[in-house]
A and B are shown apart, each in its own frame.
Chain A
Amino acid sequence: MTAPSKPRSPVRRRVIQAAAASAALTTLGFPAIVRAQSKRLKVGVLLPRSGYQGFIGQSCQKGADLAPGVIKQMLGVDVELMNADTETNVDVARTRAERLIQEGANVLVGAFDSGQTVAIAQVAEQRGTPLVINIAAAPQITEQGYKFVFRNFQTARDIVGNGLRLTGDLFHATNTVPRTAVFMHVNDTFGTAVSRGIAAAMPHMTQLPFKIVDTISYDPAARDLTVEVSKAKASNADFLMLVCRLNDAIALRREMVKQRWNPMGIISPGSPGMYEEQYFKTLGKFSEYSISNVPWYNPRAELTHVVEKAFQKQNPGEKFPFHGLNVGFTFEAIMIAADAFKRAGSTDPKTLADAIRQTNIPRKMMLGAPIKFNAKGQVEGIGSACVQNLKGLPTVVLPADAATAKPVFPAPYYKA
């Protein structure tokens, strides 16, 4: 005689129990036993896709989205993306990083903003999971002695240095010798940091023919820049050196037109704003000839064509040059991880980190030297481009070997 069998619970209840159990295991942290044996690289992509940096975060995400396909084609590596939105918030960035690692991310990529990146970097370091930074410029990030944090982006110092050097190259290439500049900058965290960098770098840039005759800071949220532009115009400077964001750049350019101030040109030594799509859309012909010296992609590189093709396939309505910077660095960050995974043949975090440290990728998309990390986890020799707004698109005009057009300086409407 057999004991009466225990009544079985209804199927629905069992399903719910199983789901709850698996959810609990996930929540409580199931040990990643088979982590190192995976044949697929799980990349946790952390980007600010909402909040006030949402627009740029979404632009970076486009680079991540196309990466698995292109990398499979290039390296034969299977990449699985695990996307997380940091909501432009350091607290969220930290908890999302924890979540991704717990869910099995082998490597993290992100996070555009320095504050959020540092929050993620600490989690990565604590948990021993490699983090490849796509965009974040605070120099201190790679000065912390981290062992699992790698950056393929210029530091703020490099951006300013390269930006000023390119300004000199521009004058050389156009046989112009402006003697004076008026420097205008936003007074937010970014603008203040860059302006300080410029003040520190200028004395060492003896090759630059000009001196700054006036420095004018302004609020990035200011709707009316009449006074600031009047003051800049009154300085009689040959050209305007501008560190801006998008909205203020538009307001400032409009005010310049209104006040009929036509300096030789507007040159940004390293800030967003003037190469962004909205700047073109809003200003139309007045967006032309503005110059931004920024880290940029090499439009002549073979990999750029491959990425651009994939981008256009996924985003048929978008223009690649407006996303190239964000797409390029995000794609390269994932490519670095995939390349290391291919060489290491393992997703073991330490092995993967060691492999990333040995990276040597000459065939790249962004300007500059091959991707190689120094002892601090920083790629050195990342290049900037002199990007001028020509025919409605941001166009590389310098360095000459990457240029697709010649620089136009002074701007045509300039009258001495």
Chain B
Amino acid sequence: MSAQRRAQVLLAILAVALIVLPFVSGSYVLSVATLILFFAFTGQAWNVMMGFAGQLSLGHSLYVGLGAYAAAGLFFHYGIGPWAGVWLAIALCVVAGAVIGFLAFRFGISGVYFALLTIAFAEFTRIGFDHITWLGGAAGLFIKVEQRDTWDLLNLRGTPKMFYFVMLALAAGAFAFCTWLLRSRAGYYWQAIREDEDAAQALGINTFRWKMLAVVISAAMTGVAGVFYAFYYNNLFPEQTYHISRSIEIILGPIIGGLGTLFGPILGAAVLTILADSITEIMAAAGIEVPGVKQVFYGLCLLVVIMFLPNGIWPAIARRLGLKDK
């Protein structure tokens, strides 16, 4: 069996497993799986910027927050559903991404300085949103929650199973979109820029334009995740939504899974979420109730992965399965 055929079979098995999962699992597993898919999606979005184009963003919570607040605000005040709100979310995120990208790339800010710029934008947006009373300000914005036994896909009001399938569709869509992107001209240009920007420029690639494209696509995708976040949790606090810890959560998946790969963000999200929950379960089974010990184990596990698999988990697995890294 060729490597491509093997990859297709594995992908088909995974797809079937994910579709069947809600019908055979309890609600706890479903909530964990939804979380994995959420981080797989946001990881995929971040990967476009960092993994493909080599631009390190540590402030992706900015786009989660903008997307979440845009759609939630429209729904809360005017009853406009998320599928309409998502366009405003995308537009806002594209503008925010474009502003950050323009400021950075036009004035030659790169590397850690670019990362600092992204943090700064997320931080002052958080502080700004603390004062926007129309969106609840610091006291939070709450979307009305109803007893949900039916699926209202139009307004994203429904059972956990519905949210799971919405997130699954988004994650699958992101995977397909990123596959296409990576194989497109943009994908090759981004990889050239990532590997050596000066060389790429010397070859005639307009690096400013292509880096800007990576930023706005990544921002738009993350904004879509923000819409889901708002309607899944039904409450938004600037301090939680824009917090740097959320940005870190987003980037951990692709880093652990395999930066620049298509399957890395998915695998990374799954490994990290399952690892975190497994440690909790093992600790509970062992009767260990020391707060914070879990985080220590979690940190150690990450350390081991980074030490022994510096390129991430997926490239190593792919090699073993005889698949291409990507």
Contacts and interface: CB of A to CB of B under 8 A. Distances in A.
Contacts, number: 119
Contacts of A39: none
A122 B144 CA distance: 11
Contacts of A57: 291
Contacts of A115: 140, 235, 237, 240
A325 to B, nearest CB: 19
Interface stretch (A96-104, A294-302, A329-337, A392-400): A96-104
A27 interface: yes
A138 B239 contact: no
B74 interface: no
Interface in B227-266: 233-235, 237-240
B145 A122 contact: yes
A190 B138 contact: yes
Contact of B238 (A98, A119, A143, A189): A189
Interface string A87-126: 1001110111011011000000000001100110111011
Nearest to A102: B28
A215 B5 CA distance: 68
Interface residues of A, number: 47
B294 A196 contact: no
B139 interface: yes
Q: Which of B130, B144, B277 neighbours the largest number of chain A CB atoms within 10 Å of its CB?
A: B130
B28 A50 contact: no
B239 A27 contact: no
Q: State the majority secondary structure of interface residues on A.
A: helix
A138 B236 CA distance: 12
Interface stretch (A144-152, A254-262, A303-311, A353-361): A144-152
Interface of A: 27-29, 49-50, 54, 57-58, 83, 85, 87, 90-92, 94-96, 98-99, 101-102, 114-115, 118-119, 121-123, 125-127, 138, 140, 143-147, 156, 187-193, 196
Q: Which of A83, A95, A143, A196 neighbours the largest number of chain B CB atoms within 10 Å of its CB?
A: A95
B29 interface: yes
A344 B32 CA distance: 33
Given A28-B25, A95-B32, A102-B28, A125 B145 contact: yes
B145 A50 contact: no
B27 to A, nearest CB: 5
B235 A28 contact: no
